[in-house]
Chains A and B, each alone.
Chain A
Amino acid sequence: MITLTEIREDLFMALQSLRSNLMRSTLTTLGIVIGIVSVTLMGTAIEGLNRAFMTSIAYIGADVLYIQKFPWVVGEEWWRYRNRKDITLSEEKAIEEQSTYAVAVAPFTGSMATVKYEDQSATGVVVVGSNQNYALLQGASVAEGRFLTEAEVAGARPVVVLGSEVAQKLFPRGGSLGKLVKVGGHSFRVVGVLEKMGNFLGLFSLDTRVVIPISQYFQHFKSYHSSIDIGVKIRDVNNLEDAREELRGIMRKVRHVPPGAPDDFAINQQELLINTFNSIGVIIAAVGLFITGLALTVGGIGIMNIMFVSVTERTREIGIRKALGARRITILVQFLIESAAICLFGGLIGLAIAFPMSILIDKWVLPTAMPVSIVVVAIFVSLAVGIISGLLPAYRASKLDPVEALRYE
């Protein structure tokens, strides 16, 4: 085997060679730098997407099941779901009465409307009709006043709870409680304002809605769908599967689904979305890393090219070393170390460039951070690219015939 002394000599000679061809080494390294920058930034972006998704999906609640007409992930059979019977309030009542796993049940439905107070107005507000449990299901908390009460829902009282942005818009100086606002032209008394919650999947804001009793809602508004959704919060997240079966049984009974027939409703849960996201995420990550990996491959080809040049240039040196007793492996390792060193150097520069860029992305595009794993992978990958690209030139160097090499001019 190769001795430590020989490896030290190899390392020394490799660095000497890089130093004496500084311009060439730097230019060659550029390909690897670009490759590593694009790979790490892609990794960082994917990490950011994951984080954004996970933060958003937390609002859905891991312990909440959603009974809806449509499943969240719809395949090509969309038309089949469309003909399903609507889900109604009486089904919600049945679940409230019969379910043993549920701690809170809320029916909800919504539509877009304009909310006005005096000369201030907020357009594109989602009016949600629900009951007193809605805040709990959504993980929303009340900043001012209180949420809807059971009595208000039962009595169809014209009261409203404002999302934080709506409240901000209508009452820039606060003091919204007790005021009468017009929701879609109808008067509602403000009883509470919700805490700011942020965006859902970065698409629409939970803060731009108002919640009114569902009984009031049915009097004044018409939803996108005539079917309502039912959210059911489960006592213990570990019993999710049992709860799901129980809800299924209740729903089938209430909706008179004959035995053997498929469900004519969907029970959705957070996990489903996560699974779908993950499977899409894997594809996005694979395609993204493949494309950026191409940049790295081009960089690697550049390294291979320059290593061939380096071997040819130093044919005579190789001959001298062989005459003095260098074995094949020593020569092989010398050139492998050289190409690995170029690439490692490029990888480190790439990381040094990508890191501040990831901070900019974090600031302006989406919240993210360069994961440590990406850093480790980038260093490992650049080393691997160096070794793979160097393999062929180094092998050629090690195979040189000493007589021919010494004669080389």
Chain B
Amino acid sequence: MPLIRLQNISKIYNVNEAEEVHALRNITVEIDRNEYVAVMGPSGSGKSTLMNIVGCLDTPTSGLYEFNGVNVSQMSDNELARIRNKEIGFVFQTFNLLPRSDALHNVELPLIYGGVPAAERRRRALHALEQVGLADRIHHKPNELSGGQRQRVAIARALVTEPSLILADEPTGNLDTKTGDEIMALFELIHEKGNTIILVTHEEYIAEHAKRIIRIRDGMIEHDERVSNRKVLNSYSETTAL
């Protein structure tokens, strides 16, 4: 059973009464556990819409979406919230941390919504921050951290619930190349530990870190290929030592 199974997924937006935009047209794709997939496409291709649906932030207009064998395409808001909380870890281009909360509280947030008791929450959040190398920054607020550090807090937040899927939307888009490489090395490490990662990007250079690239254009899958010449960065520990 694949982790993600999309069958004839379409998404239509009504711009106004007369005009419809077909953001996705009959997308059918499967993603297995422990895959490392990059979704590529120019802006307006529909890749963001696809990610929103895969991330359970949005529901398709038609088609079937099974996550872990469960049909989520017609779920209610609250059921989707539960799936997002337990099964999916998000990493965004703009980090999306709560500006007034420190790193620890930001990482604890999904656990709070998951109803995890305080002591365990703290233990798990500290562990996640350790994994991304920020054990000494737990009480720093986002504006006291560098861009790379912020993204690592966000990755810790995505990892802390031990989700089935890590969904990263342009995770290096707001970072310089060197910091971006560090973050990609971190993803490599996370992948090695057995996590499933979907990476949305428009940069070939970034996409080549993945093992499989799905190219989207005009709401349809243009190309779905295994990466033969995969770019594997130095292991994460070496990168952070730089």
Contact = CB atoms under 8 A, between A and B. Distances in A.
A322 B98 CA distance: 12
Interface string B33-55: 00000000000000000001001
A316 B96 contact: yes
Contacts of B98: 317, 320
Nearest to A4: B115
Given A402-B57, A403-B58, A328 B96 contact: no
A27 interface: no
Interface string A376-409: 0000000000000000000000000111001000
Contacts of A328: 77-78, 81
A400 to B, nearest CB: 11
A6 B57 contact: no
Given A5-B118, A402-B57, A403-B52, A326 B96 contact: no
Interface stretch (B83-91, B181-189, B205-213): B83-91
A403 B90 CA distance: 13
Contact of A324 (B58, B85, B116, B118): B85
A327 B86 CA distance: 13
B100 A325 contact: no
A326 B58 CA distance: 15
A1 to B, nearest CB: 11
Nearest to A326: B113
B115 A325 contact: no
Contacts of B101: 16
B150 interface: no
Residue among A6, A319, A324, A406 with most chain B CB within 10 A? A324
A373 interface: no
Given A9-B112, A324-B84, A325-B81, 13 more contacts: A6-B113, A320-B97, A320-B98, A322-B84, A323-B57, A324-B85, A324-B157, A325-B85, A325-B86, A326-B81, A330-B113, A403-B52, A406-B92
22 contacts: A3-B115, A5-B112, A9-B112, A20-B100, A316-B96, A317-B98, A320-B96, A322-B57, A323-B90, A323-B96, A324-B90, A324-B110, A325-B81, A325-B82, A325-B85, A325-B113, A325-B114, A326-B113, A327-B77, A330-B113, A402-B58, A406-B96
